[in-house]
Structure 1
Amino acid sequence: MSQIQLAQPSAAAATEDVSAPVDLVALARWMDENGLESGPVHAVSRIGGGTQNILLRFRRGAREFIFRHPPAHPRPESNKTMIRESRVLAALASTGVPHPRLIATCTDETVLGAVFYLMEPVAGFNATVAMPGQAKESPELRHAMGFALIDGLVALANVDHEAVGLSDFGRLDGFLERQVGRWAAELESYHRYPEWSGRGELGDVHGIGAWLEQNRPVGMRPGIMHGDYHIGNVLYHADGSLAAIVDWEMATLGDPLMDLGRLLSTWPDGDGPPVLSMRVDPSTGFPTREALIARYAKKSARDLSNLPWFEILACYKLGILLEGTYARAQAGKADPATGARLHATAIALLERARQRITSNREKVQQ
């Protein structure tokens, strides 16, 4: 695309938008140094989402940008996470995986106080925010949207992580062996909040962990994992195809079947409470979990014989993670209403894990 030639202004001419949570003057100065358009940073708007990271859309010169930065009070690992996110986006540029295109990364923390990066905007909609036009009216289109989720997941799982320069992006040795212990320790760590009511309402969490340890698959076919793959972390084109997979902060190397397990863990199938839902409206028309699995089996060469293990692990892991918000909420460190909602979801997820264990045992005995 040709760019409009503008007179080169001072970086100090950047719009002083008092609502912007970052220094736009410093941002414009850095963009000047890296040849990223010219003129004022303007039309700044904040993009909402399920993360505390700062996500902005703005214009400069003839181009729009998406800006991603850690929260105002960064967590200890925030800068490392930003670098990893931008690295995986850069690696995916040569693949068929739909993703936001990386423009540039700033690792100099003196510019804005933390690592940040710029991406190309993606034209698309998030189904958990609003179903527009035909997507809201057509069950057939929503059916295609469900299959598009699987197609994106298969495309990611098929990427040769070594060929795209991500051979050191995660520790593959002992990956599956580490999972249960890691999340069991996370649950135990919530006792640091004396106000936490404990694991009583969660049921027999230890029993789920014991089953996972006893039935762990032998070996795996490694690949790139998104880490939190669900319908709220993708954007769709109007025709129901995937425009982009977003929110890569948990990406790593491991077994890509964990992403499929994560998707299935909250996919409604009639055997769980309403709290386990995709959080989309309307939700009719989407494929059943059985249809999603069949699609994955058709599109991928991966062995799905151990898929129940991965779904049960996903329920176990996600349930424990969500309970952490509840523990923080009871300690006055998170929103009480959000904590209560996620606590209910954690209970439902762990109950689903136990149901899946029972179903799996019955199948084995038949």
Structure 2
Amino acid sequence: MTDGVDPALVDLDRLAAWMDAQGLPSGPFGRVETLAGGTQNVLVRFERGGREYVLRRPPRHLRRASNEVLRREARVLAALAGSDVPHPGLIAACPDESVLGVVFYLMEPVDGFNPTAGLPAPYSRDESWRHAAGLDVVDGIAALGAVDHEAVGLGDFGKPDGFLERQVGRWMHELDTYGELDGYGGPRIPQLDRVAAWLEANRPRTWTPGIMHGDYHLANVLLDRERPRLAAIVDWEMCTIGDPLLDLGWLLAMWPVGGAELGVATSLADVSGFPGPGEVIARYAERSARDLSAIDWYTVLACFKCGIILEGTHARACAGKADKGVGDLLHAITLALFAKADTYL
């Protein structure tokens, strides 16, 4: 380790030269540290020239789409500048791989905390703080869905035509590909076909495209330490142009209801005070002109899609390509998600 970061991940000399070329303040690096949080990408915080930065780059072991994901993230953060959406401000991005060997970008640090990592005081002792912050988390995704994606330069960012029509087939096909992994005996999800058929039969006929975060829940937000509010939405790697109501459905699928947020928030297992699902929906309706009459459908789709994504790690674990304990845990969450989806049918 050098200056608090592995030089194989971030070559500070090359980074300094690139920053100088961008007209950013020069000088020695200070307080360099690799941040915890985020399972896919690397975050490094540092100071230089009297300014603080957070660098985000792909993981050490690149996946096929790792660099493209970072390009898309940087483009979205740039497009959101000046909007009502709480997000880390983009400072500068390097969309090619010539500097550090990977795509990366620099963003403003956010003074906040992730609620799934534990609640500091006064959140931990005051239900009114948890309630107010929960409503602000809803406001954040409503604000995102209200952004005119074409006006902010994201008209070509996704493929909204046929977005809802593609979902069930797209994710059933993904599930089928897991069968190529030796040792995986196929999905043992009792409600799979029933949920898929219900989604196809009850798909909303009309909807309005917009910016989707793609993975919106309490593990992907930072809350303000000083006030009960949303400080920033983070981890934009699944962002696209689609139906923003799927973000609300995803939030509801993962929302803490009488116990832990499903799958990602064991620290919230015994925490009360968050708004109930009905209040979440009502709050979104206050902040958005979108038709919420089919919100149950979006919640079921979120359970379906997330469950299949998690099952992929279970399949890789069965093939010896991922930790067995993690795979078993995620399979259990998949079953819980499908069981939850079944209650809406």
With the shorter chain as reference, the TM-score category is over 0.9
Other-structure match for 1:92 = 80
State the Cα distance separating 1:273 from its structure 2 match.
9.2
After superposition, the Cα gap between the structure-2 partners of 1:274 and 1:135, relative to the gap in structure 1 and judged at 3 Å, is closer
| CA distance in 1 between partners of 2:242 and 2:113 (Å) | 29
Which of 129, 137, 140 pairs up with 1:149? 137
State the Cα distance separating 1:280 from its structure 2 match.
3.9
Q: How does 1:194-343 map to 2 (within 5 A)?
A: 194-200=182-188, 202-238=189-225, 239-269=227-257, 278-281=265-268, 283-343=271-331
1:47 aligns with 2:44: no
More displaced 10-residue stretch of structure 1: 32-41 or 135-144: 32-41
More displaced 10-residue stretch of structure 1: 46-55 or 235-244: 46-55
| CA distance in 2 between partners of 1:194 and 1:277 (Å) | 28
Q: Secondary structure at the match of 2:99?
A: helix
1:292-346 superposed Cα distances (whole Å, 9 cap, x missing partner): 1111112211111111110000000000000111111122212222211111100
| CA distance in 2 between partners of 1:29 and 1:298 (Å) | 48
More displaced 10-residue stretch of structure 1: 253-262 or 37-46: 37-46
Other-structure match for 1:167 = 155
Report the AA paired with residue 269 of structure 1: V
Q: Secondary structure at the match of 1:64?
A: strand
Contact 1:275 1:344 survives alignment (8 Å): no
| CA distance in 1 between partners of 2:71 and 2:195 (Å) | 34
Contact 2:179 2:185 survives alignment (8 Å): no
1:188-225 superposed Cα distances (whole Å, 9 cap, x missing partner): 1111112113212x113122111111111102111100
Contact 1:297 1:304 survives alignment (8 Å): yes
Contact 2:143 2:287 survives alignment (8 Å): no
Aligned residues: 341
State the Cα distance separating 1:276 from its structure 2 match.
5.4
The structure with the largest alpha-carbon Rg is 1
Report the AA paired with residue 104 of structure 1: A
Contact 1:267 1:289 survives alignment (8 Å): yes
After superposition, the Cα gap between the structure-2 partners of 1:147 and 1:31, relative to the gap in structure 1 and judged at 3 Å, is same
- List alignment gaps of at least 5 residues for structure 1: 1-14, 358-366
| CA distance in 1 between partners of 2:198 and 2:339 (Å) | 14
Contact 1:180 1:213 survives alignment (8 Å): yes
1:123-164 superposed Cα distances (whole Å, 9 cap, x missing partner): 111111121110111011001111011110111111111111
State the Cα distance separating 1:73 from its structure 2 match.
2.0
State the Cα distance separating 1:28 from its structure 2 match.
1.2
State the Cα distance separating 1:275 from its structure 2 match.
5.3
| CA distance in 2 between partners of 1:228 and 1:120 (Å) | 21
The alignment's TM-score, normalised by the length of structure 1, stands at 0.89
- List alignment gaps of at least 5 residues for structure 2: none
Contact 2:256 2:274 survives alignment (8 Å): no
| CA distance in 2 between partners of 1:143 and 1:274 (Å) | 15
